[in-house]
Amino acid sequence: MLSFASTLVARAARLFQAAYEEPALWTISAQGRVVGTLMCEAGAWRLSWFDGAPPRLVNYAGRVDVDGDAEALAIVLSERLGAPVRLESLPV
């Protein structure tokens, strides 16, 4: 139950941060390793991939901002990869 509450609080904090156009940074993890980042600065969203990231993710050409909901992007990327993709917020 505590884990679920923590997840909800973290998600709400990320949505609040994105709504006020504060700089935000997330790591993108898949298959047990960090494969890229998601950055939001001044309302502009940008995906960056590291060397060796799965090609299905690197070739993603869909919507990045997903209305400021990073968790929704994680779901879209997970469906694309066929494996769980996790976004974790980092302090900027």
Residue-wise pLDDT tens digits, 5-59: 455 545 655 555 555 557 789 999 999 999 999 998 888 889 999 999 999 999 9
Q: Looking at residue 69, what is its pLDDT?
A: 81
Bigger pLDDT: 18 or 88? Answer: 88
pLDDT at 90 over 90: no
Distant-in-sequence, close-in-space partners of 76: CB < 8 Å, separation ≥ 6: 62, 66
Domain ranges of the chain: 2-90
Structure pTM? 0.73
Residue 32: DSSP 8-state: T
d(CA 52, CA 36): 10
Residues 62-79: what's their mean pLDDT?
86
DSSP β-bridge partners for residue 33: 30
